[in-house]
Amino acid sequence: AQKVTQAQTEISVVEKEDVTLDCVYETRDTTYYLFWYKQPPSGELVFLIRRNSFDEQNEISGRYSWNFQKSTSSFNFTITASQVVDSAVYFCALSEAKDNYGQNFVFGPGTRLSVLP
């Protein structure tokens, strides 16, 4: 069965520090997709990135970077030079194809990041 673990329940950092959010997943499928979402206090989940299981290239987008390692089933998210606006709950999610067509989305429990001024 598929599962997503985010072992860090809460993290607090001071502004300008770098912070890494961990995500470990379990799946039996060879084709799957990994996502990160940000949930600010407003409540809406904001899509940040999607990565497919065949693309292990790391990605950088501004202050955000993602490290995908199939060997350890991890898809970690790093924020460089954190800012107060980064304070949110971050969710990692795994999506497998269901019946070779549909989708089966599983979310981790989330990591609450607090960036202090």
Partner 1 sequence: DGGITQSPKYLFRKEGQNVTLSCEQNLNHDAMYWYRQDPGQGLRLIYYSQIVNDFQKGDIAEGYSVSREKKESFPLTVTSAQKNPTAFYLCASSSRYRADSPLHFGNGTRLTVT
The residues of the shown chain that bind partner 1, judged by CB under 8 A, are: 4, 9, 31-33, 35, 37, 42-47, 50, 52, 91, 95-98, 101-110
Please identify, using beta-carbon distances, which residue of 13 and 106 lies nearer to partner 1. Answer: 106
The least CB distance from residue 61 to partner 1, in Å, is 15
Decide if 65 contacts 59 (C-beta within 8 A): yes
Buried b (16+ CB within 10 A) or exposed e, 67-84: ebeeeebbbbbbbeebee
- Nearest residue (CB) to partner 1, 42 versus 117: 42
Q: Choose among 81, 74, 1, 85: nearest CA to 36.
A: 74
Find the shortest distance in angstroms from Cβ 2 to partner 1: 11
Q: What minimum distance in Å lies between the beta carbon of 89 and partner 1?
A: 10
Task: CB nearer to partner 1: give 8 or 80.
Answer: 8
Q: Is residue 17 within 8 Å of residue 33, measured between CB atoms?
A: no
